[in-house]
Every structure is written in structure tokens, then in C-alpha cells.
Structure 1
């Protein structure tokens, strides 16, 4: 065996074995919800079950009705997702119709956001912002990365409420927001525990007693937890000395996280199978994911269809040369993400931004009973991989009644407005948002 040449070794050899964190949070099921307090708590994110509403005035039961058949739909997910530095409590609710005849019809999946002004946190937020304004500006290279609204645990007081480990965003690796109060103020910190308990009590106070929502159809409620998405690092090629590769798709504003998987442009030559193959490859790194969350991020397309055409349009083609002497080489056109086709908020007229998408595995999780969920945890890696492939291809229907979509893309008001119909500020709000659905291949 010839001796090992040290010059043949490269950092990329180790990098190929590492993983890179993206800017996406993945929502996964985390066991059945049995505690009555959690079921009534709007700050506990869930899969299935009945909704726990934020607005004190219970929304109209028609919010859950399918626009195709007018029947009440089951709650698919409820997510606790307040915007950063906002005084509003915020939750996102998504309902879906499982009637076969309603599939592929407009209004069979509906998403709503509920807002409620939080007086206690608004006072804390005002105090926090005043302190920040009084301090000297922090150099850009030392600035704290922008936190994700789901990072509710892992760092003391990293959330407005410290709501515990079962809430959407239970991932220490994504918790990066600074404490609301300064560490050198023990008196304020001591009062935080009392205020947080009061906030939790207030959140849990909304119940569905004597309400039509109580008798609505529902799936078994499961906790919805999150983790950061990690992807295998792309191996770097060994290049001659002095050669440099520039990757224009890397966005320095993403806090150093790898976003090349998301920002990758789509070539015009891609057909349905190739887009679907890229989707399944990306999802395959965490097959249990039911939700992908990336506020103001880029959706992961499921197939080449009208939704892909509208969100990833082709750029204008350059004029072709008309003379032989002017022959040029024209590069293939590439699609880039452009959400300008998504309707604006009808209330404040602001643009809507991508917030999250529902994944195919959610259909299977909702359909499965608690016993089936326990069996899934005992599957081997190979059995789990095959099951995920069946779910993605729609071959694991498990009955005549069920949803058949590939992914549901949810776009929300970028200003998260809380306005009445006549444009006045309101302490509470209940607004429907846009859902774009890509169906099975």
C-alpha cells in the first residue's frame, strides 16, 4: 500500500461528512395531548384536535366550513407563531376537508390567523425597546442573529412567555433571541415568573364549552414540536491554486445558515418527475416532518404545475439574433422565486409573504390512530423510508376518505395587521389568509 500523501487531504473531506443548518424549522408530531389544560391553551401548538382560540369573541363556526361542500372540516394544525417584537399574541389555524369529491376544489383547505393584544408583554416590549434605543449601536459583526418566532425554549426568557417545552419551536439549536429583561435586574426577573403564570392562565381561559366547535369533527390531538432542518454539506471540489468559486445564491442576511437548497433556481427543462424528485430528496432527510416553517422564506415546490408557474415564473427571454453574424449562445432560462402573484391583504393592502407549508406526512399522521403512531416508532429506518415514499406518492391512502394534496403553501399578511373592516386598529383580529395547494403527481 503506498504511503498517504498529506497534500491529497482537504478540508472538504471532513465537510462532506458534516451537516449544514438551514433557515427552515420542521414541525413533527410529538405524542398525544391528554392534559385538558394543554388542549385549552392557545399557546400549545398541535396536530388535529379542536382549536383553542385567541380572540375573546369566538370566531364564527363557518370559518371551518369547506367552500366546496359546506361541511365543517377537521383542524389540521394550530401553530403558536407571534411575530418578533410584536405586542400581539398570534396563532395560525388550518382546516382541511377529507371528502373525496372536494379534493382539488377551491376552499377545501382554509387558513386563519388569530391575534390578541397582550398588555403585559406590550409593556415589557416598550421597556425593552427603550433600553435598546438608549444603548450605543452594536457593530454589525457582533449583532445577535434574528430569532425565529418559534424559538420558545432553550434560552432563559427567550420567549415573551417562557411557555414550556411542548410549544411549537422546542429546539435548543434554534433558540437565539436575547432575554426580554436584562440579566442584571433580578427584581424584574423575579416578577417574570408571576407574570408568565398569569399569562398562561389567561391563555388557557378560553374554552369551547357549550360551543358548536366542541361537537365539530376532529382528529386525535398531537403535540407539534419543531427542530431545525439539517442537510448534508455539499462537498467542495478540489481546485487548482488561485481559483475561487463564487456562490451568488448564498445570502449573508440568513445568519450564516446555508440557504442554497432553498434559493436554487429551477431550470426550464425540469418536468414533473424532476421537481418531485427534488422535493422527495429534500424531505427524505427528515421524513417525519409535517410542517415546514420559514417566515418570509421560499416554499419548496411539490410538482410542475400552475402554482410553480406563478411562484417561479420564467424570466423574459432575450431577443434572438436575426443575422448569421450575430449568432450567440443562449443559456437555458432559470426560474426564480417571485411571490408577486399572491393576492395582497384585502384589509391593509400589504403584500403577503410565505409563512409555512403542510407536508404529505401530515395526512398519514392525522389518519393514524394512537396505536398506529406507537407502531410507527418501532419501524426500522428502511421500513420508515418506504412508508414515507408511499405517502409522498399517494399510494398509502388507507381508505376511501382522505386528503390527497401534495403540499399546502400558506401566505400571510406581511404587516400582520389587526384592523377592523373600516381600517381602524383593533385589539383582536380573525382573518383568513391565502392557501395555494399543489396536488398529487
Structure 2
């Protein structure tokens, strides 16, 4: 196990290598970040404007779900002006387990308001003013404050603005001259009047609805309407450190062993053995990687690659091409709101199940049965300027698989 929780000597640093993955750990000790946590109840960028209740409902039973994760997901190096949070919910009913829609995730984003482009007013003795944003460049050089931003660790506790919370995880045209005159409406044409009342009274439906922009048809419910929450923990974070030898072996064998599976359709014991062997290889890689930092509950790497729990299910086919097949991976579905591609952002791992259920009195068969929960988000971080928006994101769940061993 990499020494993430203790001071290591200089002599021991050569025994480990650091990856681009940031690991999250559940802790009862405050970390200085009051936003990111596992379990408990969610909070919002604007408490007066929570999301619609539909985002908290299981798509299987339509009941309210429990919060698994709330993450302060500000990314200064990618979206320096945006505030972001990610929320992951799950249904705890046994009948909904292992069914699509029983685990959901959505992104909460607040983008700054667009600044109106002001055109210089004509005047006899006045020269057009130089845009104010050029002043800093003229005095100090460079391309502005954003050029000094480093590749911020999504778990870092520093922030470049007072408005954006600390991140623990790393055009308008000119007015028309006709606007001075009030519009003249023909007396015999009631259509505009009817439309005006329809707009004011919100009669009918939006003629141009925006995809994935959920209408607030039902307000966010009171806390008492949700099932009892999981125990809440703060989130602490450290870069992933791995022993060097396993990493070298993984690189040497990745092309021939990772996600290898028999796709020839062979029957009999040989085909079954090959299938189970392929399953074991992927699961073994997952287990070996997790075992080096066994207390992790979260793996974070924006635009990275997930660590697959299984290499044979539909989720795996989105990230890898099974051995014997040709073509490209399917990839995650594109953002329904803006059409941009989705990228991997984070995944939850079984350590979270242990942390959330260790103090609950339940039978082993009643607990959560997922192996990993993968969340893909819009690469453009789409949203509406000047307001808080909620966008449901893609969730790929790889459930526990039990293979009979000889």
C-alpha cells in the first residue's frame, strides 16, 4: 500500500510512482471543504433554486434515492469561470438493484453572466474608447490572469476567486432605431395578443424545448420525504501512488492481457474457461490496483480512463475493444443538452460501500452490490449563463459478478 497517510522518507520515494489519478478517502475529520462529502444530504450552489425532484427519483420504482456522493468539481484549468458540483444518488431497494436507472448522477453548474457588447456612441469630439480588458495586457504583458493558472489539482483547497468555493478535488446587438416608437398592432389581428397571454400565463408547451433541460414540474422534496441517509463523511484526497514493479508489469502485458476475451463463439469447456479467464484478468487488475490503496472510495481523473471492474459487460464495451473484434470503442453517449462528447470524470469503488454500510444493521444480502460506478460528464460543461443549471450525466454501473471457481 502506498504511504498516502504517513510521512515517507526520501529513501522510500523511489519505491513508488505517482499517477494522474486523485484518490478520495472518507474521513470523520474536517478537511476544510464543507461541500464535498459522501452520504448525508445534498446542498446547492443556490439554496433558493434546488433541482427538480425528478432527478432524485429512481427510474425503476420512482421512489426517492439516497445520496452517495456530492463533489465540489470546480476545474480552474478547464473552466476557470464556472462553478461545478457533481451529485450521485442510488436507490436502496433490493428490487431495483442491478437495474438501469437505480443509480443516477447529475451535474450542477453556474456560469457567469454574458457581458453585453457596448458599441461606442457617435460623437463629434469623442474618440472610440479602447476596451478595458486591454489595459492589463498593455501594463503587465501576457494574456491575462488565466494564463497563470497551473494544472490545478481537482482536490486542491486553493481558489483563485472569492466567488468560487475551494475545490478539494482538483451577442447582443445594438438597439434598433425603431425601438423609439411603440409597436403598432393591427386591430383586426388578435394573434399577437393571444400569444402574449399564452406567454404570460404559460399556456401550452415550449415550442423549442432544450434537450435534457428538465422542467421544474415538481419541487425538490423536504428532507423527511427521503429514505434515511447514509452516514456522512468528509472527503480527503491524495495523488495515487503505486509500487513501480506492478506498473511496469501492467504496461508490458497490457496489449495482450487487458480485457482479453474469447469472441470466437467456441462451445464447450474451453470456451467457458476462456471467458472466465478473461473476466478474472480484468477483475484481478482492478483488485490489484485497488489493493495498493485499499481505503480509497473515489478515483478522479477528468478526461482520464476508468479502472474497469469487468471486461465483458456493456459498460466495458464503451471503453475497450474485446480481443478478436475490430473497430473503435463505442464511447459514452454524447451530452443530450449540447451534443458535445462526454469524458470520464470519476468512479466510485467498493471501499465506499464498506464506509457507508459498516455501521448499519443489515444482512449481507441487503447491501449494495455494485463493483464500480463510472460517471461521464459533458466535455464542454454546458449550461446557461447567469443561472444555476442541472444536467443529468451518464452513469455506467458494473455490478458484482460471481463466477464459480473450481
TM-score band by shorter chain is 0.5 to 0.7
Evaluate the alpha carbon distance shift between residue 148 and residue 17 of structure 1 in structure 2; reply closer, same or farther with a 3 A threshold. Answer: closer
Gaps of 5+ in 1: 1-13, 120-126, 138-142, 175-209, 238-246, 250-259, 319-334, 373-396, 420-424
* SS across alignment from 2:223: helix
Evaluate the alpha carbon distance shift between residue 162 and residue 114 of structure 1 in structure 2; reply closer, same or farther with a 3 A threshold. Answer: closer
Kept after mapping to 2: 8 A contact 1:339/1:353 = no
- Asked if 1:97 is matched to 2:87, the reply is no
Higher RCO (Cα < 8 Å, 6 or more apart): 2
Q: Aligned partners of 1:342 and 1:114: how far apart in 2?
A: 20
Deviations 1:177-203 (A, max 9, x none): xxxxxxxxxxxxxxxxxxxxxxxxxxx
Deviations 1:364-403 (A, max 9, x none): 1111239x9xxxxxxxxxxxxxxxxxxxxxxxx8444221
**1:13-32, aligned counterparts within 5 Å?**
18-31=15-28
- Asked if 1:66 is matched to 2:58, the reply is yes
Match of 1:438 in 2: 398
Q: Aligned partners of 1:261 and 1:268: how far apart in 2?
A: 11
- Asked if 1:410 is matched to 2:402, the reply is no
Which protein is bigger by CA-based radius of gyration?
A: 2
Q: Pick from 356, 363, 368: which aligns with 1:366?
A: 356
Evaluate the alpha carbon distance shift between residue 99 and residue 18 of structure 1 in structure 2; reply closer, same or farther with a 3 A threshold. Answer: same
Q: CA RMSD in A?
A: 4.1
CA deviation after TM superposition for structure 1 residue 135, in Å: 3.3
Kept after mapping to 2: 8 A contact 1:89/1:116 = yes
Match of 1:80 in 2: 72
- Asked if 1:148 is matched to 2:153, the reply is yes
* SS across alignment from 2:307: coil
Q: Aligned partners of 2:93 and 2:322: how far apart in 1?
A: 35
Kept after mapping to 1: 8 A contact 2:369/2:399 = yes
TM-score by length of 1: 0.59
Match of 2:107 in 1: 113
- How many residues are treated as equivalent by the alignment? 301
Gaps of 5+ in 2: 1-10, 114-131, 171-219, 262-276, 402-406
* SS across alignment from 2:289: helix
Kept after mapping to 2: 8 A contact 1:17/1:232 = no
* SS across alignment from 1:348: coil
Match of 1:223 in 2: 234
Q: Aligned partners of 1:413 and 1:276: how far apart in 2?
A: 28
Kept after mapping to 2: 8 A contact 1:113/1:432 = yes
**1:348-387, aligned counterparts within 5 Å?**
348-369=338-359
Kept after mapping to 2: 8 A contact 1:151/1:158 = no
**1:42-441, aligned counterparts within 5 Å?**
44-55=35-46, 56-84=48-76, 85-117=79-111, 135-136=141-142, 146-153=151-158, 168-169=168-169, 212-217=222-227, 218-234=229-245, 266=258, 268-269=260-261, 271-306=278-313, 307-314=315-322, 340-369=330-359, 398-419=363-384, 425-441=385-401
Kept after mapping to 1: 8 A contact 2:259/2:278 = no
CA deviation after TM superposition for structure 1 residue 149, in Å: 2.8
Q: Aligned partners of 2:356 and 2:112: how far apart in 1?
A: 32
CA deviation after TM superposition for structure 1 residue 62, in Å: 2.4
Evaluate the alpha carbon distance shift between residue 109 and residue 128 of structure 1 in structure 2; reply closer, same or farther with a 3 A threshold. Answer: farther
CA deviation after TM superposition for structure 1 residue 426, in Å: 5.0
TM-score by length of 2: 0.63
* SS across alignment from 1:271: helix
